Structure 1
């Protein structure tokens, strides 16, 4: 099967891409005249498929929120070709049996490459680590208790030693439960003004400080999920300077929103970690720009309309993000002139692929034919009716952005295509 994608920009040059046997065979001009399929990119920009190391597909057990099929189609719509799926489904992916079931589900239902996390401990809250060895051998991409901080230091220490032995990342949702105090947004003046209980930034940074000391001792690859505070950024920066094998991700909403923008008791502004202060947001941007933070990850968290209706005191934490991440980041960081497109691709494709050892992140000859075509000049309004995800819970509805996905190929096969590409 030979596919030619013509009239696309690659590194600012109008070129064609030849795909054969699920790989990129050649990039250039005059690539022949015999093809099984020709796709006209109409001047779109070709990028390596985006990579998201933090998604929730809710399948099995919570499929009224999302399924592997709908979540993966939403991923392709957002330009993503590889995702790493969190284990906090029902049942939790905390045994070899559940992992095998999940791997089979991902293989059967996902239109993108769906890599699977396994839990650090039973039900994400037990003190004893799970069977890391067998689940690593079966194909777990990494280990995490996402949605829960590991409350016991010994549990984390033992888990780190196991992950190090197996050369697998240990991914941490850092949150000390004793410092949450029923909070639903960032603790501070805004929470006081709105009469809502606040979550102390210390709940994140204090547990992160503990973990970084343990990571230094064990040598594990320790990855910080959805970093959100200025103190956490500084802790990661210092740890990197001291040789700790730590990486970090930040979500688009923590870069683009802060608690000063919460003007009312708005359920779409409730996520965990919460939107922090403007100072925290600026520190996150600075950390991403200077390399302290390695990548952007969406923490795509779909919920039903009922679960996101009402007061922030009562609704579920989390927002969807995989269909809006690129356009929001492109508009705010590239279109504004803050960084170039290559840097954004590094944050959203190359770095996550390299750090998690995934065969992705490069639009080059000989690489897998995982790519996306983006019309960078297409301005549009984010509309929940356009989402392929079951979840419509986004605070960015109605925002105008640039950078629309026209086509997404996974292993050379069409995973998403809009009406303008034929």
Structure 2
């Protein structure tokens, strides 16, 4: 295949220029202007379109095994491709938990049949109980790309520190769900003005902040590559900023919903705006954007969390937290970060391509000769409407929204896996 006349943006090499791209057997073999077609290769004219590395998401839930009425590996991969993602990292809180080599291998074997790259984390503790550490060595050898008990916090500081030490010895990331449940009555709803209006007791930011403060120091002491998942609080952002200055190998994820919405979205969207950690205040939202701008936050991750319509129809305090995110992530980033002048397109894509790929040591995330032919092709100035979802679920407060950044193609391994 020959990609002609596209405008290449590659954060890994800081390239922003017109380029043709030749693909042979799923690999980039030539990068130059005015490449001449050879033999019978397929030509894709990308005039007026931007070509970037395929997006990489460090935090998705495909609900497989065990909760496949919400999503499965296949529908999750379709949603990813539609959103421009060619690589995703699945969380370990499935049923059963990914705490054994057998479960891990089953997922990875089935994932190989899909058209995108699907990576799998393993859990830190057996059964997500935070008490007994899984066999990190065996799980790493079987193909786990990192470790996390996402959805459940590691409340025992000594256990968390020991897990960090083990992850550090294996040179693998450990990612943490930061939430001290002692502070929380109802999670998924910020303890603030909106909760008062709705007459519910919510989840205060301090529940996240005390855990982030602890784990920043544990990260500094252990030397582990530690990821603070779905950061939601201004104080948490400042804690990560300080830990980085102290020399900790610490990273943070921002979700599109946390940099676009505040707690007031609950008044309009109800349970579709309920997520954990919750949407917080405008001050928190702006702090997250500032953290993205100065690279305190170096990852944009969706926390793609599909739920059934029936589950989200339950009362606010009973409905599950989370929204689908893969299909709207790039559009929300362009619309709310790039178009509003907070980030350049290069800076946005850096947090969605090369940064996550480098942290998890994944192939891809870069456009250069001999790299995988994984691309997202889009028009950053073209408006599109969020309507149908490729995901099995459609629990999103962004339904009906008009966003910039229409995706025209997702190409993975040299094959067109989505055409918009």
Q: TM-score per shorter chain, which class? A: over 0.9
- Superposition deviation, residue 359 in structure 1: 1.1
- 2:314 corresponds, among 301, 304, 310, to 310
1:229-268 pair list within 5 angstroms: 229-264=233-268, 266-268=270-272
- Judge conservation of contact 1:24–1:369 (CA < 8 Å) in 2: yes
- Judge conservation of contact 2:269–2:397 (CA < 8 Å) in 1: no
1:2-401 pair list within 5 angstroms: 3-11=1-9, 13-27=17-31, 28-108=33-113, 110-264=114-268, 266-383=270-387, 385=388, 387-401=389-403
3-state SS of paired residue (2:21):
strand
What 5-or-longer segments of structure 2 have no aligned partner?
Answer: 10-15
3-state SS of paired residue (2:353):
helix
- Judge conservation of contact 1:184–1:196 (CA < 8 Å) in 2: no
Deviations 1:206-252 (A, max 9, x none): 11111122222211111111011011111101111111111111100
Quickly say closer, same or farther: Cα 1:258–1:212, change in 2 above 3 A: same
- 1:417 corresponds, among 392, 416, 419, to 419
3-state SS of paired residue (1:18):
strand
- Superposition deviation, residue 264 in structure 1: 5.0
Deviations 1:295-344 (A, max 9, x none): 10000001111011132111111000100000111111222333221111
What is the total number of aligned residue pairs between the two structures? 413
- Judge conservation of contact 1:229–1:284 (CA < 8 Å) in 2: yes
Distance (whole Å) between structure 2 residues aligned to residue 281 and residue 122 of structure 1: 35
3-state SS of paired residue (1:366):
coil
Deviations 1:39-98 (A, max 9, x none): 222432111101100000011111110110110111011001111011111111001121
Distance (whole Å) between structure 2 residues aligned to residue 66 and residue 100 of structure 1: 19
- Judge conservation of contact 1:99–1:135 (CA < 8 Å) in 2: yes
Distance (whole Å) between structure 1 residues aligned to residue 274 and residue 341 of structure 2: 30
- Superposition deviation, residue 13 in structure 1: 4.3
3-state SS of paired residue (1:199):
coil
Using structure 2 for the length normalisation, give the TM-score: 0.95
Using structure 1 for the length normalisation, give the TM-score: 0.95
Distance (whole Å) between structure 1 residues aligned to residue 85 and residue 188 of structure 2: 30
What 5-or-longer segments of structure 1 have no aligned partner?
Answer: none
Distance (whole Å) between structure 2 residues aligned to residue 265 and residue 389 of structure 1: 20
Bigger drift between 11-20 and 360-369 goes to 11-20
Bigger drift between 330-339 and 195-204 goes to 330-339
**Once superposed, what is the RMSD of the aligned Cα atoms?**
1.4
Bigger drift between 37-46 and 189-198 goes to 37-46
Distance (whole Å) between structure 2 residues aligned to residue 13 and residue 355 of structure 1: 26
3-state SS of paired residue (1:123):
helix
Distance (whole Å) between structure 2 residues aligned to residue 264 and residue 123 of structure 1: 36
- Judge conservation of contact 2:266–2:272 (CA < 8 Å) in 1: no
